[in-house]
Amino acid sequence: MIVKILVVGPIGANCVILGCERTRKAAVVDPGDEGDKILSVLTSEKLTLEKIINTHGHFDHVGANRRLKEVTGAEILIHEKDAPMLGYLKEMAMSFGMRMENSPPADRFVKDGDIITFGEEKLKVVHTPGHSQGGIALLAEEFVIAGDTLFQGSIGRTDLPGGDYDTLIRSIKTKLLPLGDKMKVITGHGPATLIGAEKRYNPFLR
């Protein structure tokens, strides 16, 4: 699988471009900003975008939904509980002193256990609420895209609407840690990590 990680937007969110080697079909996870930068990588890799997947609805992870949708027609996927956020990104961004366009509505809702395909590749949806009610992770064979659930040495914040600390810790311990020590975690912000490293060193998980 082709995997390209771009750091986008003023908050430095990780946007993950995934592609099928044979068919050149692609998915973009968390296009938080800088839509033209994302489109440029898709073009340079000769990838056709089929799916825009949001791990959650916060503005720094969905801000380029509109641009990608307008250019490619790709469908937008998000958990139903976070879908309403797509309609008030402008207000969310303004509360942080930033400007953002609202996203088009979701084309499809995803839930725990769903399989998302692009070309010959697939991702399994893992519902991981806590940072937001509809937060999801996306599981591939060799890595998991965790959104803002788990970071290197830290966890997602739980003081925003829909956040809950106990729920987040439960999601990490029951949904992510069982994936095994060698599983690579692509986080929503900052460097990637391994499940084993977070078990040993993450102060929130001791």
Q: Using one digit for the tens of pLDDT, what is the confidence trace for 19-55? A: 999 999 999 999 999 999 999 999 999 999 999 999 9
Cβ–Cβ under 8 Å, residues 108 and 127:
no
What is residue 101's predicted lDDT score, i.e. its pLDDT? 84
Q: Which two tokens stand for residue 111?
A: 């839930």
CATH of domain 2-205: 3.60.15.10
Tell me the Cα Rg of the chain: 16
Q: Beta strand 184-187 with 143-147: parallel, antiparallel or unpaired?
A: parallel
What is residue 95's predicted lDDT score, i.e. its pLDDT? 77
- Determine the residue type at 52: I
Cα–Cα distance, 29 to 33 (Å, whole number): 12
Scan for tokens 């056709």, then name that residue. Answer: 48
Cα–Cα distance, 150 to 147 (Å, whole number): 7
Contacts (Cβ under 8 Å, ≥6 apart) of 153: 193, 198, 201, 202, 203
What is residue 173's predicted lDDT score, i.e. its pLDDT? 97
Q: Which two tokens stand for residue 168?
A: 């987040």
The closest of 14, 55, 57 to 33, measured between CA atoms, is 14
Q: Beta strand 150-151 with 154-155: parallel, antiparallel or unpaired?
A: antiparallel
Cβ–Cβ under 8 Å, residues 38 and 69:
no
Cα–Cα distance, 109 to 111 (Å, whole number): 7
Q: What is the pLDDT of residues 61-71, one digit of tens each?
A: 999 999 999 99
Query: For the whole model, what pTM was predicted?
Result: 0.95
Q: Any bridge partners for residue 143, and if so which?
A: 184
